[in-house]
Amino acid sequence: MKIHLKIWTQKNPDDKGRFVTHTVENISEESSFLEMFDILNEQLVAENKEPIVFDHDCREGICGMCSMTINGIPHGPERETTVCQLHMRKFKDGDTIVVEPWRAGPFPVKKDLIVSRDAFDLIQQAGGFITSRTGSARDANEILIPKDVVEKAMDAASCIGCGACVAACPNASAMLFTSAKVSHLNYLPQGSPEKDRRTIAMVEKMDELGFGNCSNYGECQAVCPKGITLDFIAKMNRDYAVAKARQLANS
């Protein structure tokens, strides 16, 4: 395959940035998108040019690092797939592919296709944990939890924090990410004692960091590589309303 790439390059957060065009030839249809980028960078290094900087780690669809917007779609055209699991057979010989970093105020560009997602870490630090000491690992069946609750908690916990939901949302909302991180603990008995504190802390930290509100566009759900749904946003909104009502009643 012969592929034409229009890639965003930016030296640092203060640089204006621009698109540059490259052509890569002899690309196998079975190559992943990131393997194609590896070939491009090898080509650039051989030409004594600076390679394109991009994030990656596991390349197994788990870490959430490969944050690229491909032809205007976070993670590209394949549903419920990360960039590293996207294969070149999804494109045609001679295609021009536009590649950009996430576009959201709370995700400033560090260089080229790498953005800072420190804001997600701050939301998680605000309440995405359990403070009670649990000691050594307990037997898996010691605390009985209904199957439907376990499945909902596991669905929420599948969030890899990639940020595609924010990049796709017209409001740059982090509601899908935050609701997943809130809900996977709020559903379980281990997380119940701190449910109200956790929900208020994480939602208000999200607002403080400049993420927008949810307007039910549904773009976040459409691009989520793990198929996390808007149901978790609805649950978080209910949990937040109840927690604030209790906080007001106790003040």
161-183, pLDDT tens digit by residue? 999 999 999 999 999 999 999 99
Range of the domain at 89: 3-110
Q: What is the pLDDT of residues 178-212, one digit of tens each?
A: 999 999 999 999 899 999 999 999 999 999 999 99
The per-residue pLDDT for 100 is 97
Which residue in 66, 57, 102 sits closest to 86, CA to CA? 66
What pLDDT was estimated at residue 84? 95
> pLDDT tens for residues 200-244?
999 999 999 999 999 999 999 999 999 999 999 999 999 999 999
Instruction: Indicate the average pLDDT of the chain.
Output: 95
Report pLDDT for 132. 76
Same domain, 136 and 190: yes
Q: Are 223 and 67 in contact (CB under 8 A)?
A: no
Do residue 104 and residue 126 come from a single domain? no
Residue 251 has pLDDT above 90, yes or no: no
Same domain? 128 vs 99: no
Res 134: pLDDT? 66
Same domain membership, residue 7 and residue 103: yes
- Which domain CATH number covers 7? 3.10.20.30
* Total domains, the chain: 2
Which residues partner with 45 through β-bridges?
A: none
Closest CA to 219 of 67, 66, 74, 61: 74
Q: Are residues 144 and 45 in the same domain?
A: no
Q: Do 181 and 65 fall within a single domain?
A: no
- pLDDT band, residue 141 (cuts 50/70/90): confident
Same structural domain for residues 86 and 13?
A: yes
The residue from 69, 87, 110 where one domain ends is 110
* Interval 23-33: pLDDT, tens: 999 999 999 99
Pair of tokens at residue 188: 């379980």
Share of the chain above pLDDT 70, in %: 98
Domain final residue pick, 110, 137, 167: 110
User: 32 and 95 share a domain?
Assistant: yes
Give residue 77's pLDDT: 95
Q: Which of 76, 110, 144 is the last residue of a domain?
A: 110
Same domain for 235 and 125: yes
What pLDDT band is residue 2 in, cutting at 50, 70 and 90?
very high
Do 19 and 131 belong to one domain? no
Per-residue pLDDT for 152 more than 80? yes
Say yes or no: 167 and 233 in one domain.
yes
pLDDT at residue 140 tops 90: no
Can you give the CATH number for the domain in which 179 is found?
1.10.1060.10
60 and 29, same structural domain?
A: yes
